[in-house]
Amino acid sequence: MRARHLFLLFAALAMTPWPVPAYASAQLVTIRFDPNAPVSPLGTETEYQAVIRIQEEQDPNVRLRLINEFLSGEYRDERVDVGPGEDQLGGFDINRPIDIAGDGDVAIDDRARGDAPTTGSEFTYLVLRLRFQTLYDVGEPEDIIAAAAEAMAAHEFFFDAKMGFITDPSSVPEVAAFRLDFANQRSIFYQAMMEAYQSLEDADNVLRFGEMALDAVNETWDLYNEQFDETAPGFPFERDRHAARQTLLLGTMMGTYQFLDNLENEIAYARRFLEVQPNDREVLTRVSQYMAEPARIPPEGAARAEHLEAAADYAGRAVAAVDAFVAGPDAVEMEELEKASMVSQANAALGMVQYQQGRFRDAALAYGRAAESIPEAQLYFLLGVAHTNDQNVDGAVSALARAVFLEFPQPQARQLLEVAYRVRNGSLDGLDDYIQNEGEQLRTDR
């Protein structure tokens, strides 16, 4: 039972080799191979116990001191034979016999024979994982980046060396779990670096390592699906965890493009985000608002129609998601103004899209609901314009009068109101009184 708890998948942490010159000396180790432990690190009894002690240490300062002592090379002494009674090392059974097809030599490279000398420890990659984990919890961003990069180099070095001995991976049962663990750990390193660069406001590296983390997360999920299907007991949890990791990464990159004022890429990542979380009300509202802006809409033709159809779909889903949320238990403790603002924004986005599609009556309905929730001058102005285009004179006069009463800052509101009011009444007599009456009605409605 010596090393059961050396399995360092770090599943609770949602997170191309990265060469680091500082690690070059630490990589001077000849990875050995034992067919009874094909993907486990091999070493001395002292090394085993040292790694266990490091992992069990709770004080981060003591743990880092023990890690530095290990990396100095103090633990490489007497050899350990892998035999009966051992349990697991690094999460993999080190005593499980390998069922090799044919004559027993097809899966293992000739370099597996013998006991090659080492100039370092095969456990280095695990120890550097632990240093990274410790600094992730307590370190500064620069320390986290350096620790992740160094651990990544050791991680990839160990993985490539072990896999180099195996010519037929399908014949070695341990390889599937080995690949899954290492892909997952790669995603953790990349995500940690992304988060650290985010703290440093280094947008270029946030985007760079965020995309790398996404690739590694998706690789992890592909490898998981090669081993397990939907009937596996843990499948729902792993599926939800995979979606949560994608959501975090895509949301971070979407926010980074917003920080950079790069609207085109922000929308692109928002749409990728919605492929993972199709009912996120905030992202649905935001992306539909942006896509409805006239400057973002393609000229007349198929591209315009396709663009607006997608925007209308997002906006309709935003309204549905907001309505469901507001009516549900999660909104009970929320302030009424906050709920009203959510309803108003979603409906305003839908009205914008529908107006651009020429669906003026539908746009007026959406703008009307938005204005009822949050009676702002701009919303009443847009409602009045939609009614005007729908030839609804009464609706236009009422909405535009309310926009003027609420002091819409541009002169168009008063100009359009005078045109509609004259069409309906034949003159402008009584217009100012009408505006005041509509304003009073607004107060009554609230």
What would the pLDDT profile of 168-207 be if each residue is shown by its tens digit? Answer: 998 999 999 999 999 999 999 999 999 999 999 999 999 9
Q: Out of 108-112, 147-151, 256-260, which region has the weakest mean confidence (pLDDT)? A: 108-112
Give the angle subtended at the CA of 419 by the CAs of 417 and 425, to the nearest 5°. 95
- When pLDDT is cut at 50, 70 and 90, the band that residue 109 belongs to is very low
User: Comparing C-alpha atoms, which of 112, 113, 187, 119 is closest to residue 155?
Assistant: 187
Instruction: Work out the average pLDDT over 95-103.
Output: 30
pLDDT score, position 95:
31
* 73-101 mean pLDDT: 39
Largest CA distance in the chain: 105
Residue 444, pLDDT score: 76
**Percent of the chain whose predicted confidence (pLDDT) is above 90:** 69
Tokens (6 digits) for 147? 């620790």
DSSP secondary structure code for residue 166 in this structure: B
361 compared with 443, residue with greater pLDDT? 361
CA angle 393, 394, 398 (to 5 degrees): 115
Output DSSP code: residue 334.
Answer: S
Q: Does residue 294 register a pLDDT over 90?
A: no
Amino acid at 369: R
Which residue has tokens 């002494």?
Answer: 77
pLDDT confidence bin for 146, thresholds 50/70/90 = very high
Element (H, E) at 93: strand 92-93
pLDDT at 75: 62
Number of other CB atoms surrounding residue 320 within 10 Å: 14
| Tokens 């349990």 found at | 87
Distance CA 209, CA 193 (A): 7
Residue 30: the pLDDT is 76
Q: What is the pLDDT of residue 94?
A: 29
The pair of structure tokens assigned to 141 is 């961003």
User: Which residue, among 198, 200, 207, 188, has the nearest Cα to 250 in the 3D structure?
Assistant: 207
The answer, yes or no, to whether residue 344 has pLDDT greater than 90, is: yes
Residue 115 above 70 pLDDT? no
Average pLDDT, the chain: 84
Which of the four pLDDT bands, split at 50, 70 and 90, describes residue 28?
low
Residues in the chain: 446
Calpha distance 269→263 (Å, rounded): 10
Distances (CA, A) of 179 to 51, 92, 224, 254: 22, 11, 10, 30
Indicate the residue type of 97.
P
**CA angle centred on 231, ends 228 and 233, rounded to 5°:** 80
Q: In which element (H, E) is residue 88 found? A: strand 88-89
Under a CB-based contact definition with an 8 Å cutoff, are residues 371 and 380 in contact? yes
Query: Cα–Cα distance between 65 and 127 in angstroms, integer?
Result: 12
Rg of the chain, C-alpha, whole Å: 31
Distance between CA atoms of 195 and 202, rounded to whole angstroms?
10
pLDDT confidence bin for 3, thresholds 50/70/90: very low
- Residue whose token pair is 């607004």: 442
Asked whether 271 and 319 are in contact (CB, 8 A), the reply is no
pLDDT at 31: 85
Q: Could you tell me which residues come within 8 angstroms of residue 444 by beta carbon, excluding any fewer than 6 positions away? A: none
Buried b (16+ CB within 10 A) or exposed e, 239-278: eebbeebbbbbbbbbbebbeeeeeeeebbebbbebbebbe
127-153 exposure pattern, b = at least 16 Cβ within 10 A, e = fewer: bbbbbbbbbbeebebebbbbbbbbbbb
Cα separations in angstroms, 27 against 46, 49, 227, 347, 383:
20, 21, 31, 59, 68
Q: Which two tokens stand for residue 273?
A: 């985000």
